[in-house]
Amino acid sequence: MKVRLTQFLRRAVHASVLSAAIVATANSACLLAEDNPRVTPIVEAIRKTESAVVNIQGNKTVSNTSANGVSTRQEVNGMGTGVIIDRRGLIVTNYHVVDSVEKIEVTLADGTTSIAKLINYDPETDLAMIKINVDWDLPTINVGRSDDLLRGETVIAIGNPFGYQNTVTVGIISALHRNIPVNGSQQYTDLIQTNADINPGNSGGPLLNTNGEVIGINVAVRVGAQGIGFAIPIDNALDVMANLVAQYRKSGSHGLLCQRVPCEDGCQLIVREYESSSHKSSRDIRSGDEIITVGGVTVRNQLEVELALLDRDPGESVNIELGRNGQSVIQSIVLEKNNVVTEESEISRLAWERIGVRVTPVSGNQLKALGEEYKGGLKITEVRSGSPAARERLSSGDIIVGVMNWQTPNLKSLAWVLANNSYQSSLTAKFYLIRRDQPITVALGQDRIKR
């Protein structure tokens, strides 16, 4: 009798659980129904996008100097948000979220946690690219436009405010083209202003439209204010991200400069300019051609062009499908060698030719006595006569700790700076040095030696 009663109870519990599951499934199906009034455009936009949003955690050590000049070091917890831009694990966020973070911990929407590596960044726009290694294809963000935004239109922010993961807030676009000063020497330009709640931890996350497309990267909140937040327009962010990927790729320039042009179906990607130094590349790529695919991958913006070439090797030939006068045209480009050098001897040669110095790395430990957060530096051992360094009276013993907005703790970092478009296009660049234990700043030009 006892056995039969136990079996009866088990069956009853199983039936109850099964019934609850059926009801839950039915309710879920009901909520997913297109005609359900609760499934608003905002709900649909979140569902389309949230799987491509990640939470970022990390600790960093900061230095504080008191009024009496005493320096102290303090470890602080950092948090932020990022968006997945490529199925292979590339994520964009704000640079200030990951700057000086030793261990960048990324949590995906499904709860999976990975350690990310900082692969490139642009301090001027406060954008950075990190990468996690995964064995599966990740969901990616849907990219919209920011050239047609309307004041008053509904926007959505997803982020990690104060560590509350996957938080959604809603608001409107309050204003466009805002310039916001950061400090005495830097400011954010051309930002979207929104009243969607953006708090510490939202930085680097997406600002969405009601179609579930990212239209901006959340970057800042006005301290002490309520309902005032800012985002980098996605059109501006795409240009920076494309440049960051191009510098990270194994191969170098492909010669294609593109622009998105509005059309009836959204946007077309049009060749603005084409110039390739490889004699093996097709010459019949014209300004005004529509770029449809690169290496068989459909592309809609310059970032997707760079991502389509991400794993390609220097010297490899890649087919480009173009639209021209209503016809499909196939051309090919041959990828050049990446101009970011990695061999120390080559980096040293570039520093000698462009700046006029020979340098040797010094460790961060050797600079600790200065009370600053230097990861290392490059000590000058020789200055070339008549060079930019000589004209600004740099001398042996000076230690280069930064150029423009980037630290230079080693030769590899210097190579990255020398290859950066912001540095190459500048007439002069700020160099931060230590001279006899005192920080100084000089503005150096560069010698452009033609080969």
Question: Nearest Cα to 369, choosing from 403, 399, 408?
Answer: 399
Q: Note whether 313 and 370 are same-domain residues.
A: no
CATH code of the domain covering residue 364: 2.30.42.10
Q: Note whether 350 and 418 are same-domain residues.
A: yes
Q: Which domain holds residue 287?
A: 249-334
- Please check whether residue 116 lies inside any domain of the structure: yes
Q: Note whether 54 and 103 are same-domain residues.
A: yes
Q: Note whether 432 and 352 are same-domain residues.
A: yes
pLDDT of residue 410: 85
- Please check whether residue 416 lies inside any domain of the structure: yes
3-state SS string for the chain: CHHHHHHHHHHHHHHHHHHHHHHHHHHHHHHHCCCCCCCCHHHHHHHHHHHHEEEEEEEEEEEEECCCCCEEEEEEEEEEEEEEEECCCEEEEEHHHHCCCCCEEEECCCCCEEEEEEEEEECCCCEEEEECCCCCCCCCCCECCCCCCCCCCEEEEEECHHHCCCEEEEEEEEEEEEEEECCCCCEEEEEEEECCCCCCCCCCCEEECCCCCEEEEEEEECCCCCCCEEEEEHHHHHHHHHHHHHHHCCECCCCEEEEEEEECCEEEEEEEEECCCCCCCCCCCCCCCEEEEECCEECCCHHHHHHHCCCCCCCCEEEEEEEECCEEEEEEEECCECCCCCCHHHHHHHHHHHHCEEEEEEEHHHHHHHCCCCCEEEEEEEECCCCHHHHCCCCCCCEEEEECCEECCCHHHHHHHHHCHHHHCCCCEEEEEEECCEEEEEEECCCCCCC
Question: Nearest Cα to 156, choosing from 48, 34, 300?
Answer: 48
Q: What is the pTM of this model?
A: 0.70
- Please check whether residue 241 lies inside any domain of the structure: no
Active-site positions read 96, 126, 203
Q: Note whether 361 and 382 are same-domain residues.
A: yes
Last residue of a domain, one of 334, 354, 375: 334
- Please check whether residue 68 lies inside any domain of the structure: yes
Total number of domains constituting the chain: 4
- Please check whether residue 18 lies inside any domain of the structure: no
Query: Cα separation of 220 and 56, whole Å?
Result: 16
Question: Nearest Cα to 129, choosing from 165, 160, 86?
Answer: 86
- Please check whether residue 433 lies inside any domain of the structure: yes
Q: Note whether 163 and 126 are same-domain residues.
A: no
Q: Note whether 268 and 351 are same-domain residues.
A: no
Q: Note whether 179 and 253 are same-domain residues.
A: no
Query: Cα separation of 421 and 195, whole Å?
Result: 34
pLDDT of residue 330: 92
- Please check whether residue 186 lies inside any domain of the structure: yes
Q: Note whether 281 and 313 are same-domain residues.
A: yes
Per-residue pLDDT of the chain (451 residues), as tens digits, is 444 444 444 444 444 444 444 444 445 445 555 678 899 999 999 999 999 999 999 887 655 555 555 555 556 677 899 999 999 999 999 988 998 787 899 999 999 999 999 888 887 788 999 999 999 999 999 999 999 999 999 999 999 988 888 899 999 999 999 998 866 556 788 999 999 998 889 999 999 999 999 999 999 777 777 789 999 999 999 989 998 898 788 776 787 888 888 776 667 788 887 776 665 667 788 888 899 999 999 998 999 999 999 988 888 889 999 998 888 989 888 887 765 555 677 788 888 988 999 888 888 777 766 666 677 889 998 899 889 999 999 988 899 998 987 888 888 888 888 887 678 777 888 999 988 888 899 998 877 543 3
Q: Note whether 349 and 330 are same-domain residues.
A: no
Last residue of a domain, one of 277, 311, 334: 334
Structure tokens given for 243? 């440049």
- Please check whether residue 35 lies inside any domain of the structure: no
pLDDT of residue 257: 82
pLDDT of residue 450: 39
Structure tokens given for 28? 């879920």
CATH code of the domain covering residue 201: 2.40.10.10
